[in-house]
Amino acid sequence: MWRNRNVWIVLSGEFVAGLGLWMSIIANLEFMQQKIPSDFVKSLILFTGLLAGVLIAPWAGRVIDSTSKKKVLMLSGAGRIVSVCFMFAALYFDSVWWMVLFAVTLQMAAAFYFPALQSVIPLVVKESELLALNGVHMNAGTLARILGTTLAGLMLAVMSLKGLYIGSFIAYIALLAATWFLNVPEAGKEAGTSGSERMAKPQISAAAAVNRKEATESLGKEEEASVGEAGDSSDADAAARSGGGFKALLPVLRAQPIVVAVLWLSLVPTLFIGAFNLMIINISELQHDSQIKGLLYAVEGISFIAAGFLVKKLGDGGNPLTRLFAFAALVAAALCLLAFADSRLWSMVSFGLFGLAAGCFFPVASTMFQRHIPKPFHGRFFSFRGMLDRVMFQVVLLGTGLLLDTIGLKRMVIGYGVLSFALIALFFLRGNRAAKAEGVQAEG
Protein backbone atom coordinates (compact mmCIF):
# COMPACT_ATOMS: atom_id res chain seq x y z
CA MET A 1 0.00 0.00 0.00
CA TRP A 2 2.77 2.45 0.90
CA ARG A 3 4.39 2.04 -2.52
CA ASN A 4 1.21 3.27 -4.18
CA ARG A 5 1.61 6.86 -5.38
CA ASN A 6 -2.14 7.43 -5.28
CA VAL A 7 -2.21 6.59 -1.56
CA TRP A 8 0.34 9.29 -0.81
CA ILE A 9 -1.53 11.81 -2.95
CA VAL A 10 -4.80 11.06 -1.16
CA LEU A 11 -3.15 11.35 2.26
CA SER A 12 -1.19 14.51 1.42
CA GLY A 13 -4.29 16.02 -0.14
CA GLU A 14 -6.31 15.30 3.00
CA PHE A 15 -3.54 16.76 5.16
CA VAL A 16 -3.25 19.98 3.16
CA ALA A 17 -7.03 20.37 2.91
CA GLY A 18 -7.38 19.83 6.65
CA LEU A 19 -4.63 22.33 7.41
CA GLY A 20 -6.45 25.02 5.47
CA LEU A 21 -9.87 24.02 6.79
CA TRP A 22 -8.97 24.16 10.48
CA MET A 23 -7.11 27.42 10.15
CA SER A 24 -10.32 28.78 8.61
CA ILE A 25 -12.45 27.33 11.43
CA ILE A 26 -10.39 29.01 14.15
CA ALA A 27 -10.53 32.26 12.19
CA ASN A 28 -14.31 31.91 11.73
CA LEU A 29 -14.85 31.31 15.45
CA GLU A 30 -12.79 34.40 16.25
CA PHE A 31 -14.69 36.47 13.67
CA MET A 32 -18.08 35.35 15.05
CA GLN A 33 -17.02 36.02 18.63
CA GLN A 34 -16.14 39.58 17.64
CA LYS A 35 -19.28 40.28 15.59
CA ILE A 36 -22.09 38.05 16.94
CA PRO A 37 -23.01 37.88 20.66
CA SER A 38 -25.77 35.22 20.40
CA ASP A 39 -24.95 31.51 20.23
CA PHE A 40 -28.21 30.90 18.38
CA VAL A 41 -27.31 33.39 15.64
CA LYS A 42 -23.89 31.76 15.34
CA SER A 43 -25.58 28.40 14.85
CA LEU A 44 -27.89 29.92 12.20
CA ILE A 45 -24.88 31.09 10.19
CA LEU A 46 -23.33 27.62 10.31
CA PHE A 47 -26.75 26.15 9.51
CA THR A 48 -27.02 28.18 6.29
CA GLY A 49 -23.83 26.72 4.86
CA LEU A 50 -24.78 23.17 5.79
CA LEU A 51 -28.22 23.58 4.22
CA ALA A 52 -26.59 24.43 0.89
CA GLY A 53 -24.61 21.19 1.09
CA VAL A 54 -27.78 19.18 1.75
CA LEU A 55 -29.67 20.68 -1.18
CA ILE A 56 -26.90 19.96 -3.66
CA ALA A 57 -26.09 16.43 -2.40
CA PRO A 58 -28.45 14.43 -4.73
CA TRP A 59 -27.01 16.09 -7.82
CA ALA A 60 -23.47 15.71 -6.48
CA GLY A 61 -23.95 11.95 -6.07
CA ARG A 62 -25.13 11.51 -9.66
CA VAL A 63 -22.23 13.61 -10.97
CA ILE A 64 -19.65 11.60 -9.00
CA ASP A 65 -20.98 8.25 -10.28
CA SER A 66 -21.29 9.39 -13.91
CA THR A 67 -18.08 11.35 -14.48
CA SER A 68 -14.40 11.31 -13.60
CA LYS A 69 -13.85 11.40 -9.85
CA LYS A 70 -10.55 13.21 -10.38
CA LYS A 71 -12.38 15.95 -12.27
CA VAL A 72 -14.88 16.26 -9.41
CA LEU A 73 -12.05 16.57 -6.89
CA MET A 74 -10.32 19.21 -9.01
CA LEU A 75 -13.44 21.35 -9.47
CA SER A 76 -14.44 21.12 -5.81
CA GLY A 77 -10.90 22.11 -4.85
CA ALA A 78 -11.20 25.17 -7.07
CA GLY A 79 -14.51 25.95 -5.35
CA ARG A 80 -12.76 26.03 -1.99
CA ILE A 81 -10.29 28.58 -3.29
CA VAL A 82 -13.17 30.78 -4.48
CA SER A 83 -14.87 30.48 -1.08
CA VAL A 84 -11.84 31.92 0.73
CA CYS A 85 -12.01 34.96 -1.56
CA PHE A 86 -15.47 35.67 -0.14
CA MET A 87 -14.01 35.66 3.36
CA PHE A 88 -11.45 38.25 2.28
CA ALA A 89 -14.43 40.39 1.23
CA ALA A 90 -16.06 39.78 4.63
CA LEU A 91 -12.97 41.12 6.38
CA TYR A 92 -12.63 44.08 4.02
CA PHE A 93 -16.27 45.17 4.32
CA ASP A 94 -16.60 43.98 7.94
CA SER A 95 -19.74 42.12 6.84
CA VAL A 96 -21.32 38.95 8.24
CA TRP A 97 -23.20 38.41 4.95
CA TRP A 98 -19.97 37.80 3.06
CA MET A 99 -19.12 35.23 5.71
CA VAL A 100 -22.47 33.52 5.05
CA LEU A 101 -21.58 33.37 1.34
CA PHE A 102 -18.21 31.88 2.30
CA ALA A 103 -19.94 29.19 4.38
CA VAL A 104 -22.37 28.36 1.54
CA THR A 105 -19.70 27.96 -1.16
CA LEU A 106 -17.39 26.01 1.15
CA GLN A 107 -20.13 23.50 2.02
CA MET A 108 -21.18 23.16 -1.63
CA ALA A 109 -17.60 22.29 -2.54
CA ALA A 110 -17.48 19.81 0.36
CA ALA A 111 -20.69 18.14 -0.89
CA PHE A 112 -18.72 17.07 -3.97
CA TYR A 113 -15.24 16.63 -2.51
CA PHE A 114 -15.76 14.23 0.39
CA PRO A 115 -18.12 11.71 -1.32
CA ALA A 116 -15.75 11.67 -4.30
CA LEU A 117 -12.77 11.07 -2.02
CA GLN A 118 -14.55 8.21 -0.23
CA SER A 119 -15.33 6.73 -3.66
CA VAL A 120 -11.69 7.00 -4.75
CA ILE A 121 -10.21 5.13 -1.78
CA PRO A 122 -11.59 1.66 -2.73
CA LEU A 123 -10.31 2.20 -6.29
CA VAL A 124 -6.67 2.81 -5.37
CA VAL A 125 -6.08 0.04 -2.78
CA LYS A 126 -6.98 -3.61 -2.27
CA GLU A 127 -10.06 -4.43 -0.20
CA SER A 128 -7.89 -5.97 2.52
CA GLU A 129 -6.12 -2.61 2.90
CA LEU A 130 -9.28 -0.50 3.23
CA LEU A 131 -9.46 -0.42 7.03
CA ALA A 132 -5.78 0.48 7.36
CA LEU A 133 -6.02 3.25 4.76
CA ASN A 134 -9.23 4.64 6.27
CA GLY A 135 -7.52 4.82 9.65
CA VAL A 136 -4.38 6.49 8.28
CA HIS A 137 -6.51 8.79 6.13
CA MET A 138 -8.38 10.03 9.19
CA ASN A 139 -5.09 10.40 11.04
CA ALA A 140 -3.80 12.65 8.25
CA GLY A 141 -6.85 14.86 8.64
CA THR A 142 -6.50 14.87 12.42
CA LEU A 143 -2.81 15.76 12.31
CA ALA A 144 -3.73 18.62 10.01
CA ARG A 145 -6.37 19.69 12.51
CA ILE A 146 -3.87 19.70 15.38
CA LEU A 147 -1.25 21.63 13.43
CA GLY A 148 -3.86 23.90 11.85
CA THR A 149 -5.49 24.89 15.14
CA THR A 150 -2.16 25.26 16.93
CA LEU A 151 -0.70 27.32 14.10
CA ALA A 152 -3.88 29.40 13.95
CA GLY A 153 -3.67 30.15 17.67
CA LEU A 154 -0.06 31.25 17.34
CA MET A 155 -0.82 33.34 14.25
CA LEU A 156 -3.73 35.10 15.97
CA ALA A 157 -1.31 36.29 18.64
CA VAL A 158 0.97 38.02 16.12
CA MET A 159 -1.20 38.85 13.10
CA SER A 160 -4.76 39.63 11.98
CA LEU A 161 -7.49 37.26 10.79
CA LYS A 162 -6.51 38.06 7.23
CA GLY A 163 -3.22 36.26 7.74
CA LEU A 164 -5.07 33.07 8.73
CA TYR A 165 -7.20 33.14 5.61
CA ILE A 166 -4.14 33.73 3.46
CA GLY A 167 -2.69 30.55 4.98
CA SER A 168 -5.90 28.68 4.14
CA PHE A 169 -5.83 30.06 0.61
CA ILE A 170 -2.28 28.79 0.06
CA ALA A 171 -3.19 25.37 1.52
CA TYR A 172 -6.14 24.98 -0.87
CA ILE A 173 -3.96 25.86 -3.86
CA ALA A 174 -1.47 23.19 -2.76
CA LEU A 175 -4.36 20.70 -2.45
CA LEU A 176 -5.47 21.45 -6.00
CA ALA A 177 -1.92 20.91 -7.26
CA ALA A 178 -1.63 17.55 -5.44
CA THR A 179 -4.96 16.36 -6.84
CA TRP A 180 -3.69 16.99 -10.38
CA PHE A 181 -1.22 14.09 -9.99
CA LEU A 182 -3.88 11.62 -8.80
CA ASN A 183 -4.35 8.62 -11.11
CA VAL A 184 -7.72 6.96 -10.52
CA PRO A 185 -8.50 3.76 -12.51
CA GLU A 186 -12.01 4.52 -13.79
CA ALA A 187 -12.70 2.43 -16.88
CA GLY A 188 -15.60 3.60 -19.01
CA LYS A 189 -15.96 7.13 -17.59
CA GLU A 190 -14.74 8.66 -20.82
CA ALA A 191 -17.58 7.00 -22.65
CA GLY A 192 -20.13 8.99 -20.66
CA THR A 193 -23.01 8.08 -18.41
CA SER A 194 -24.52 5.46 -20.69
CA GLY A 195 -21.23 3.61 -20.88
CA SER A 196 -20.86 3.57 -17.11
CA GLU A 197 -24.39 2.24 -16.78
CA ARG A 198 -23.64 -0.65 -19.15
CA MET A 199 -20.49 -1.53 -17.19
CA ALA A 200 -22.35 -1.27 -13.89
CA LYS A 201 -24.65 -4.22 -14.55
CA PRO A 202 -22.12 -7.07 -14.27
CA GLN A 203 -20.23 -5.22 -11.53
CA ILE A 204 -23.33 -4.81 -9.38
CA SER A 205 -24.24 -8.48 -9.54
CA ALA A 206 -20.75 -9.56 -8.54
CA ALA A 207 -20.37 -6.88 -5.89
CA ALA A 208 -23.80 -7.59 -4.46
CA ALA A 209 -22.94 -11.27 -4.15
CA VAL A 210 -19.75 -10.45 -2.26
CA ASN A 211 -21.52 -7.88 -0.11
CA ARG A 212 -24.31 -10.32 0.80
CA LYS A 213 -21.69 -12.80 1.94
CA GLU A 214 -19.88 -10.17 4.04
CA ALA A 215 -23.12 -8.83 5.48
CA THR A 216 -24.13 -12.34 6.50
CA GLU A 217 -20.80 -12.92 8.23
CA SER A 218 -21.05 -9.61 10.10
CA LEU A 219 -24.66 -9.93 11.19
CA GLY A 220 -24.55 -13.66 11.96
CA LYS A 221 -25.60 -16.84 10.23
CA GLU A 222 -29.16 -16.46 11.37
CA GLU A 223 -29.63 -13.55 8.94
CA GLU A 224 -28.29 -15.33 5.86
CA ALA A 225 -31.66 -16.17 4.36
CA SER A 226 -33.03 -12.64 4.78
CA VAL A 227 -29.97 -10.94 3.31
CA GLY A 228 -29.79 -13.36 0.39
CA GLU A 229 -33.43 -12.96 -0.57
CA ALA A 230 -33.28 -9.16 -0.41
CA GLY A 231 -30.08 -9.08 -2.41
CA ASP A 232 -31.38 -11.40 -5.14
CA SER A 233 -34.50 -9.34 -5.66
CA SER A 234 -32.55 -6.10 -5.84
CA ASP A 235 -29.74 -6.94 -8.27
CA ALA A 236 -31.74 -6.55 -11.47
CA ASP A 237 -33.51 -3.40 -10.34
CA ALA A 238 -30.28 -1.86 -9.09
CA ALA A 239 -28.53 -2.52 -12.37
CA ALA A 240 -31.42 -1.15 -14.38
CA ARG A 241 -31.54 2.05 -12.37
CA SER A 242 -27.81 2.56 -11.89
CA GLY A 243 -28.04 5.93 -13.63
CA GLY A 244 -30.78 7.21 -11.29
CA GLY A 245 -30.57 9.25 -8.11
CA PHE A 246 -31.02 8.28 -4.49
CA LYS A 247 -34.01 6.04 -5.34
CA ALA A 248 -31.57 3.62 -6.97
CA LEU A 249 -30.02 3.10 -3.53
CA LEU A 250 -33.19 1.66 -1.97
CA PRO A 251 -32.78 -1.92 -3.27
CA VAL A 252 -29.09 -1.81 -2.37
CA LEU A 253 -29.86 -0.74 1.20
CA ARG A 254 -32.55 -3.43 1.51
CA ALA A 255 -29.90 -5.98 0.60
CA GLN A 256 -27.50 -4.58 3.20
CA PRO A 257 -29.20 -4.31 6.65
CA ILE A 258 -25.82 -3.84 8.30
CA VAL A 259 -25.37 -0.57 6.38
CA VAL A 260 -28.73 0.74 7.61
CA ALA A 261 -27.81 -0.18 11.19
CA VAL A 262 -24.52 1.73 10.99
CA LEU A 263 -26.27 4.77 9.50
CA TRP A 264 -28.63 4.88 12.48
CA LEU A 265 -25.80 4.35 14.97
CA SER A 266 -23.89 7.29 13.47
CA LEU A 267 -26.45 9.60 15.09
CA VAL A 268 -24.63 9.25 18.43
CA PRO A 269 -21.26 10.79 17.46
CA THR A 270 -23.19 13.39 15.43
CA LEU A 271 -24.61 14.75 18.69
CA PHE A 272 -21.09 15.56 19.87
CA ILE A 273 -19.80 16.73 16.50
CA GLY A 274 -22.78 19.01 15.84
CA ALA A 275 -22.23 20.80 19.15
CA PHE A 276 -18.43 20.71 18.92
CA ASN A 277 -17.53 24.31 18.03
CA LEU A 278 -20.24 25.97 20.11
CA MET A 279 -19.28 23.86 23.14
CA ILE A 280 -15.65 24.90 22.73
CA ILE A 281 -16.65 28.58 22.64
CA ASN A 282 -18.77 28.15 25.78
CA ILE A 283 -16.05 26.23 27.63
CA SER A 284 -13.63 29.03 26.77
CA GLU A 285 -16.06 31.61 28.18
CA LEU A 286 -16.87 29.45 31.22
CA GLN A 287 -13.20 29.09 32.12
CA HIS A 288 -12.31 32.67 31.05
CA ASP A 289 -9.46 31.22 28.98
CA SER A 290 -9.10 31.79 25.23
CA GLN A 291 -6.22 29.30 24.99
CA ILE A 292 -8.46 26.37 25.99
CA LYS A 293 -9.99 26.36 22.48
CA GLY A 294 -6.70 25.31 20.89
CA LEU A 295 -5.96 22.86 23.72
CA LEU A 296 -9.30 21.06 23.34
CA TYR A 297 -8.83 20.73 19.58
CA ALA A 298 -5.30 19.42 20.17
CA VAL A 299 -6.27 16.88 22.87
CA GLU A 300 -9.14 15.55 20.80
CA GLY A 301 -6.90 15.36 17.74
CA ILE A 302 -4.08 13.51 19.51
CA SER A 303 -6.57 10.97 20.85
CA PHE A 304 -8.00 10.61 17.37
CA ILE A 305 -4.54 9.84 15.98
CA ALA A 306 -3.88 7.29 18.73
CA ALA A 307 -7.15 5.59 17.81
CA GLY A 308 -6.03 5.45 14.19
CA PHE A 309 -3.10 3.24 15.20
CA LEU A 310 -5.36 1.01 17.30
CA VAL A 311 -8.31 0.70 14.93
CA LYS A 312 -6.73 -2.03 12.79
CA LYS A 313 -6.45 -4.32 15.83
CA LEU A 314 -9.77 -3.28 17.34
CA GLY A 315 -11.68 -3.42 14.06
CA ASP A 316 -10.41 -6.76 12.75
CA GLY A 317 -12.06 -9.94 13.95
CA GLY A 318 -15.39 -10.37 15.66
CA ASN A 319 -18.54 -8.49 14.79
CA PRO A 320 -17.70 -4.92 13.68
CA LEU A 321 -21.25 -3.76 14.46
CA THR A 322 -20.84 -4.77 18.11
CA ARG A 323 -17.60 -2.81 18.28
CA LEU A 324 -19.36 0.23 16.87
CA PHE A 325 -21.90 0.03 19.71
CA ALA A 326 -19.01 0.09 22.20
CA PHE A 327 -17.38 3.09 20.52
CA ALA A 328 -20.72 4.93 20.50
CA ALA A 329 -21.11 4.28 24.25
CA LEU A 330 -17.73 5.95 24.83
CA VAL A 331 -18.96 9.01 22.91
CA ALA A 332 -22.03 9.17 25.18
CA ALA A 333 -19.78 8.95 28.25
CA ALA A 334 -17.64 11.81 26.90
CA LEU A 335 -20.75 13.99 26.62
CA CYS A 336 -21.71 13.28 30.23
CA LEU A 337 -18.22 14.23 31.43
CA LEU A 338 -18.72 17.75 30.08
CA ALA A 339 -21.01 18.35 33.06
CA PHE A 340 -17.66 19.26 34.69
CA ALA A 341 -16.73 21.69 31.89
CA ASP A 342 -15.68 24.40 34.35
CA SER A 343 -12.64 22.22 35.07
CA ARG A 344 -9.84 22.34 32.50
CA LEU A 345 -8.83 18.76 33.36
CA TRP A 346 -12.27 17.20 32.91
CA SER A 347 -13.06 19.13 29.75
CA MET A 348 -9.79 17.87 28.25
CA VAL A 349 -10.55 14.30 29.42
CA SER A 350 -13.96 14.51 27.76
CA PHE A 351 -12.62 15.69 24.42
CA GLY A 352 -9.81 13.15 24.60
CA LEU A 353 -12.26 10.31 25.20
CA PHE A 354 -14.39 11.51 22.30
CA GLY A 355 -11.35 11.61 20.02
CA LEU A 356 -10.44 8.04 20.96
CA ALA A 357 -13.99 6.74 20.41
CA ALA A 358 -14.65 8.66 17.18
CA GLY A 359 -11.21 7.75 15.85
CA CYS A 360 -12.19 4.09 16.07
CA PHE A 361 -15.85 4.51 15.08
CA PHE A 362 -15.52 6.30 11.75
CA PRO A 363 -12.78 4.20 10.05
CA VAL A 364 -14.68 1.00 10.89
CA ALA A 365 -17.95 2.51 9.67
CA SER A 366 -16.38 3.81 6.44
CA THR A 367 -14.77 0.44 5.73
CA MET A 368 -18.10 -1.33 6.21
CA PHE A 369 -19.78 1.10 3.81
CA GLN A 370 -17.05 0.70 1.17
CA ARG A 371 -17.21 -3.10 1.39
CA HIS A 372 -20.97 -3.59 1.46
CA ILE A 373 -22.06 -0.98 -1.11
CA PRO A 374 -21.32 -1.86 -4.79
CA LYS A 375 -18.74 0.48 -6.34
CA PRO A 376 -21.09 1.85 -9.06
CA PHE A 377 -23.21 3.29 -6.23
CA HIS A 378 -20.42 4.75 -4.09
CA GLY A 379 -20.88 8.33 -5.27
CA ARG A 380 -24.60 8.36 -4.59
CA PHE A 381 -24.32 6.48 -1.32
CA PHE A 382 -21.63 8.72 0.15
CA SER A 383 -23.54 11.79 -1.05
CA PHE A 384 -26.65 10.36 0.62
CA ARG A 385 -24.67 9.67 3.78
CA GLY A 386 -23.24 13.17 3.66
CA MET A 387 -26.73 14.61 3.25
CA LEU A 388 -27.96 12.68 6.29
CA ASP A 389 -24.95 13.83 8.30
CA ARG A 390 -25.57 17.45 7.33
CA VAL A 391 -29.29 17.28 8.16
CA MET A 392 -28.58 15.79 11.57
CA PHE A 393 -25.71 18.21 12.06
CA GLN A 394 -28.06 21.12 11.34
CA VAL A 395 -30.67 19.85 13.78
CA VAL A 396 -28.05 19.35 16.51
CA LEU A 397 -26.41 22.68 15.71
CA LEU A 398 -29.64 24.68 15.95
CA GLY A 399 -30.71 22.77 19.06
CA THR A 400 -27.32 23.37 20.66
CA GLY A 401 -27.42 27.10 20.02
CA LEU A 402 -30.94 27.33 21.44
CA LEU A 403 -30.17 25.17 24.48
CA LEU A 404 -26.96 27.05 25.28
CA ASP A 405 -28.92 30.32 25.30
CA THR A 406 -31.69 28.87 27.50
CA ILE A 407 -30.49 26.12 29.86
CA GLY A 408 -26.70 26.42 29.62
CA LEU A 409 -23.86 24.06 28.76
CA LYS A 410 -23.96 21.68 31.73
CA ARG A 411 -27.65 20.79 31.52
CA MET A 412 -27.40 20.46 27.76
CA VAL A 413 -24.53 17.95 27.76
CA ILE A 414 -26.23 15.81 30.41
CA GLY A 415 -29.34 15.72 28.22
CA TYR A 416 -27.28 14.83 25.14
CA GLY A 417 -25.49 12.08 27.05
CA VAL A 418 -28.72 10.51 28.30
CA LEU A 419 -30.21 10.72 24.80
CA SER A 420 -27.11 9.02 23.34
CA PHE A 421 -27.27 6.10 25.77
CA ALA A 422 -31.01 5.75 25.05
CA LEU A 423 -30.36 5.61 21.29
CA ILE A 424 -27.61 3.01 21.72
CA ALA A 425 -29.86 0.81 23.88
CA LEU A 426 -32.76 1.18 21.43
CA PHE A 427 -30.74 0.23 18.34
CA PHE A 428 -29.03 -2.64 20.17
CA LEU A 429 -32.34 -4.14 21.34
CA ARG A 430 -33.93 -3.68 17.91
CA GLY A 431 -30.97 -5.38 16.27
CA ASN A 432 -31.19 -8.36 18.63
CA ARG A 433 -34.95 -8.73 18.09
CA ALA A 434 -34.53 -8.54 14.32
CA ALA A 435 -31.77 -11.15 14.38
CA LYS A 436 -33.90 -13.54 16.49
CA ALA A 437 -36.96 -13.06 14.27
CA GLU A 438 -34.97 -13.73 11.11
CA GLY A 439 -33.39 -16.78 12.75
CA VAL A 440 -36.84 -18.20 13.51
CA GLN A 441 -37.98 -17.56 9.92
CA ALA A 442 -34.85 -19.25 8.55
CA GLU A 443 -35.43 -22.34 10.72
CA GLY A 444 -39.06 -22.49 9.60
**To the nearest 10°, the Cα dihedral for 191, 197, 201, 205?**
110
CB 350 within 8 A of CB 334: yes
Per-residue confidence at 10, pLDDT binned at 50, 70, 90? confident
Closest of 150, 411, 78, 155 to residue 275, by C-alpha: 411
User: Which pLDDT does position 215 carry in this prediction?
Assistant: 41
Q: Which residues contact 5 (CB under 8 A, 6 or more apart)?
A: 181, 183
State residue 252 phi and psi, 5-degree precision: -65, -45
Per-residue confidence at 69, pLDDT binned at 50, 70, 90? confident
Task: Count CB-CB contacts under 10 A for residue 163.
Answer: 14
The 8-class DSSP code of residue 280 comes to H
- Give the SS3 label for residue 276: helix
User: Which pLDDT does position 241 carry in this prediction?
Assistant: 42
Does the structure show a pLDDT above 90 at 330?
Answer: yes
Per-residue confidence at 316, pLDDT binned at 50, 70, 90? low
User: Which pLDDT does position 220 carry in this prediction?
Assistant: 42
Does the structure show a pLDDT above 60 at 426?
Answer: yes
Q: How far apart are CA 20 and CA 22, in angstroms?
A: 6
Q: How far apart are CA 80 and CA 91, in angstroms?
A: 17
User: Which pLDDT does position 444 carry in this prediction?
Assistant: 53
pLDDT exceeding 90 applies to what percent of the chain? Answer: 10
The CATH number of 1-182 is 1.20.1250.20
Packing angle, helices 292-315 and 320-337, rounded to 10: 160
Per-residue confidence at 122, pLDDT binned at 50, 70, 90? confident
- Mean pLDDT is lowest, of 64-68, 200-204, 247-251, 342-346, for 200-204
Q: Within a 13 Å sphere around the CA of 235, how many CA atoms are in the beta-carbon half?
A: 17
Does the structure show a pLDDT above 70 at 357?
Answer: yes
CB 107 within 8 A of CB 49: yes
Does the structure show a pLDDT above 70 at 317?
Answer: no
Q: How far apart are CA 5 and CA 24, in angstroms?
A: 29
pLDDT exceeding 70 applies to what percent of the chain? Answer: 81
User: Which pLDDT does position 310 carry in this prediction?
Assistant: 78
User: Which pLDDT does position 295 carry in this prediction?
Assistant: 86
CB 65 within 8 A of CB 380: yes
Residue 104 identity:
V
Task: Count CB-CB contacts under 10 A for residue 121.
Answer: 20
pLDDT 10s digits, 124-137: 777 767 777 777 77
CB 40 within 8 A of CB 401: yes
CB 68 within 8 A of CB 86: no
CB 69 within 8 A of CB 184: yes
Per-residue confidence at 232, pLDDT binned at 50, 70, 90? very low
Closest of 216, 6, 219 to residue 117, by C-alpha: 6
User: Which pLDDT does position 205 carry in this prediction?
Assistant: 43
State residue 187 phi and psi, 5-degree precision: -65, 135
Average pLDDT over every residue of 309-330: 77
- C-alpha distances out from residue 79 to 76, 105, 168, Å: 5, 7, 13
Average pLDDT, the chain: 76
More confident residue, 198 or 410: 410
Does the structure show a pLDDT above 90 at 337?
Answer: yes
State residue 67 phi and psi, 5-degree precision: -140, 180
- Mean pLDDT is lowest, of 22-26, 147-151, 205-209, 287-291, for 205-209
Average pLDDT over every residue of 2-19: 78
More confident residue, 336 or 323: 336
Domains of the chain, by residue range, sit at 1-182, 199-256
**To the nearest 10°, the Cα dihedral for 321, 324, 329, 331?**
-160
Per-residue confidence at 417, pLDDT binned at 50, 70, 90? very high
Does the structure show a pLDDT above 50 at 179?
Answer: yes
- Mean pLDDT is lowest, of 81-85, 170-174, 343-347, 389-393, for 389-393
Does the structure show a pLDDT above 70 at 209?
Answer: no
Q: Which residues contact 422 (CB under 8 A, 6 or more apart)?
A: none
* DSSP class per residue in 326-382: HHHHHHHHHHHHGGGTTSHHHHHHHHHHHHHHHHHHHHHHHHHHHHHS-GGGHHHHH
